Amino acid sequence: MRYLAALVFLLSVLPASAQQRCEDLAKFSLQNIVVKSAVVVAAGSFRLPSARADAAPVTVPEFCRAVVLVKPELNLEVWLPTQWNRKYVAVGNGGLAGNIVHEAMLGPLNRGYATSSTDTGHVGVNTNDGTWALGHLDRVINFGQRGVHEMAMASKAVIRAYYGAAPVHSYFTGCSHGGKQALTEVQKYPADFDGVIAGDPANWWTRHYTGSHIWTAQVMDGDGWLPPAKVQMLGDAVNTACDSLDGVKDGVLNDPRKCHYDPGALLCKSGDVPTCLTGAQVEAVRKMWMGPRDATGQLLYPGLERGGEAGPGGWVRWVTGATPGSGSHAGLGLPFMKYVVYEDPTWDFRKFRYMRVNGLESDVDYVDDKVGRIFDSIDPDLSAFRARGGKLLQYHGFSDPDVPPANSINYYESVVRAIGGSRNNARALEETKEFYRLFMIPGMQHCGGGPGASQFDGLTALEQWVEQNKAPEQVVGAHVTNGQVDRTRPICAYPMEAKYKGTGSTDEATNFACALP
């Protein structure tokens, strides 16, 4: 790998030559990088290779589509626009990867970027498939930490070969597992990208699975399960109790940590009827908001925040499912634990222990010890990335029902402490903000959706920060209904939050200002 990295670096400093024909790129090979095919895609209508059969074609500019293999089995595609802006954007994966995310490449391509995506070294039946991991440690390592780095080196080599010039700036953007990939890059491979966007990152990967997915599976297994109508009832009750705490009644909790609504208020007086929660359901909701703890009461992983329950991207999708046993644990949670951690397709999540028994380690400890070094990206030391001028823009939906929002806040604050000592060190916070900013998005669910103003242009904000040293104090978010923007709101750099000025429409960003809570 060191030899390959040296060759890639050598290509980046060689004198530029003229752009070559797309078809000639298929002759390119470098150490273990092979361009399997390269074809020109004409401007106009294009069907994304991974789109469903009933999906409509998209519109693209003319580009060279290179299908690339990093031997032995890491696949990627590099899309090279004819009208190139001299920059490169790599995009991340969701779930357990196993696919090239063509849809995420479309936006950068249309903006003139060379762009790439990888399957991280394995092909999955879907992004919930974990069967590829059994007996394949190299695949596990590529998925856990190395795949994006390999993609970045190979993509830059292909870009240089095609255009005769290296990109002047390189960026990465991803959400969920892609957000975890982003933080892996800045921690382990700080020279790969000049700027990185990490969305809703599941960067404490082992605890996300044990403390979120498996915790959810156990909590929602049996009498604690909530049917969809009760999830909606719960979400409505939370909003009724807490929506006005931020001074604006708009269906969005500005900071759900200030909401202390207790689901016991919905306890059935007798029996189980659709308009209330049973005792088991009340306790299940409390556990989801609280998060798992060990025998000493220490929190093992943050619970979910109040406010992310209702809606199509809420608990029905990620926590409860539409029927018993159909929540996220049946998708992402169990395959990873069965095939990667325990290497046993018959493993039963009901046996998982959060407490130590007779002095023996808990199952949480076991998972941490076995795969934490491969998967977890929680190192607060970002000094190498900072030293080379890298910029990190992280965001997280404050109503995320999958990756707990507090996970991002905790990581950000750990970096502040690593830089300057205590959490309240004002100087350390200012130094952190020079290269790393966190944006908590009220009302946004997992990587989008929800009642909040969750659509925003993070790439432009990152470009301006990297290329013009214009740090983003805020970005403007939009809420869209049926293709129409019906609300805008500033999304503020943490710990700031959007405060209503007191006059004008609460659906217009100009009537809000970023201020400390």
Coil/strand/helix, residue 120: coil
Coil/strand/helix, residue 510: helix
* 232-268: pLDDT as tens digits: 999 999 999 999 999 999 999 999 999 999 999 999 9
The radius of gyration of the chain's CA atoms, rounded to the nearest angstrom, is 23
CB within 8 Å of 45: residues ≥ 6 apart: 57, 58, 59
Task: Share the mean pLDDT of the chain.
Answer: 93
Residue of 149, 122, 185 whose CA lies nearest to 335: 122
Coil/strand/helix, residue 33: strand
Contact between 67 and 60 (Cβ < 8 Å): no
Average the pLDDT over each of 55-69, 357-371, 377-391, 496-510 and give the range with the smallest value.
357-371
**How far from chain centre, in Å, is Cα 337?**
20
Task: Name the DSSP letter for residue 24.
Answer: G
Share of the chain above pLDDT 90, in %: 88
For 80, list phi and psi in degrees, rounded to 5.
-120, 100
- Looking at residue 54, what is its pLDDT? 87
Selected catalytic residue, list 116, 117, 176, 362:
176
Terminal Cα distance for the chain, rounded: 48
Contact between 393 and 458 (Cβ < 8 Å): yes
- Looking at residue 8, what is its pLDDT? 47
- Looking at residue 41, what is its pLDDT? 98
Q: Is the pLDDT of residue 5 over 60?
A: no
CB atoms within 10 A of CB 1: 11
Contact between 322 and 330 (Cβ < 8 Å): no
For range 47-68, the mean pLDDT: 93
Selected catalytic residue, list 122, 177, 213, 446:
446
Spatial separation of the C-alpha atoms in residues 341 and 133, rounded to whole Å: 9
Tokens of 432: 């952190």
For range 75-92, the mean pLDDT: 98
Helix segments in 14-72, DSSP class H: none
- Give the domain ranges of the chain: 1-167, 207-350
Spatial separation of the C-alpha atoms in residues 77 and 117, rounded to whole Å: 6
Residue of 506, 501, 492 whose CA lies nearest to 451: 506
Q: Under the phi-then-psi rule, with left for phi > 0, alpha for psi from -120 to 50, and beta for the rest, what region is 359?
A: left
For range 341-361, the mean pLDDT: 89
Tokens of 306: 């109040």
Amino acid letter at 459? Answer: L
For 496, list phi and psi in degrees, rounded to 5.
-70, 160
What 288-295 contacts at long range (C-beta under 8 Å, 24+ apart), as own/partner pairs, is 288/216, 288/219, 288/319, 291/211, 291/215, 291/404, 292/210, 292/211, 292/215, 292/354, 292/364, 293/354, 294/354, 294/355, 294/356, 294/362, 294/364, 295/355, 295/356
Spatial separation of the C-alpha atoms in residues 279 and 301, rounded to whole Å: 24
Tokens of 417: 């402490």
Spatial separation of the C-alpha atoms in residues 399 and 382, rounded to whole Å: 27
* 302-323: pLDDT as tens digits: 999 999 899 999 999 999 999 9
Task: Clarify whether 176 is annotated catalytic.
Answer: yes
Tokens of 341: 């951690």
Place 390 in a pLDDT band, splitting at 50, 70 and 90: very high
Q: Is the pLDDT of residue 513 over 80?
A: yes
Q: Is the pLDDT of residue 157 over 90?
A: yes
Q: Is the pLDDT of residue 331 over 80?
A: no
* 454-495: pLDDT as tens digits: 999 999 999 999 999 999 999 999 999 999 999 999 999 999
Place 10 in a pLDDT band, splitting at 50, 70 and 90: very low
Longest dimension (CA), the chain: 79
- Looking at residue 482, what is its pLDDT? 92
Residue of 342, 319, 352 whose CA lies nearest to 130: 342
For 50, list phi and psi in degrees, rounded to 5.
-100, 10
Buried b vs exposed e over 460-499: b needs ≥16 C-beta within 10 Å? Answer: ebbbebbeeeeebebbbbbbeeeeeeebbbbbbbbebbbb
Which range, 5-14, 177-186, 419-428, has the best average confidence (pLDDT)?
A: 177-186
- Looking at residue 329, what is its pLDDT? 65
- Which run of H or E residues covers position 410? helix 405-420
For 248, list phi and psi in degrees, rounded to 5.
-135, 125
Q: At what angle do helices 147-163 and 177-188 cross, to 10 degrees?
A: 80
Place 14 in a pLDDT band, splitting at 50, 70 and 90: very low
Strand partners, 455: 478
Task: Clarify whether 122 is annotated catalytic.
Answer: no
Tokens 């005769």 appear where? 164
Contact between 182 and 92 (Cβ < 8 Å): yes
Spatial separation of the C-alpha atoms in residues 143 and 74, rounded to whole Å: 10
